[in-house]
Amino acid sequence: MDLLKYATFKELLLDNYEYPDLEQIAEQGCANCCPSGMIYYSETNAIYDHFCHDLHDIVGDYISETGETPKELIEHLNNATTFKNKMVWLCAELLATEICHQQNVNAFN
């Protein structure tokens, strides 16, 4: 996966995963469905390093909308590798949910 060709994490998801893959990520979570390109720490850490500002904006928006800080992030603040992994997975799940919802809304219009 060539990260440099993507301006945003959402672009990466839309270009690399079909709707059924995104639906699986949204419903089952990355830890359960193991999406290609986001399995190993080396992959998720590279994604985090490239999109860190975008990822923090996604989580910041989530916190603003829900008033909740995802505990899976707080639990891993003491380990950069697992924190980066959890950030990427959480953002993939949030965006996959958003993309699938939007496609479902568009299907009914």
Assigned domain for 4 exists: no
Q: Is the pLDDT of residue 104 over 80?
A: no
**CA distance to 47, 64, 68, 90, 97, per residue, from 61 (Å):** 19, 5, 10, 13, 14
38 touches 47 (CB < 8 A): yes
DSSP, res 4:
G
- Mean pLDDT lowest for which of 6-10, 94-98, 105-109? 105-109
* Tally of domains in the chain: 1
Q: pLDDT, tens digit, for every residue of 16-33?
A: 999 999 999 999 999 999
Token reading at 106: 């568009």
Assigned domain for 70 exists: yes
Q: Which residues contact 64 (CB under 8 A, 6 or more apart)?
A: none
Assigned domain for 87 exists: yes
Assigned domain for 79 exists: yes
Average pLDDT over residues 80-107: 91
Q: Which residues form the domain of 79?
A: 51-103
Residue that the structure tokens 């993939």 belong to: 92
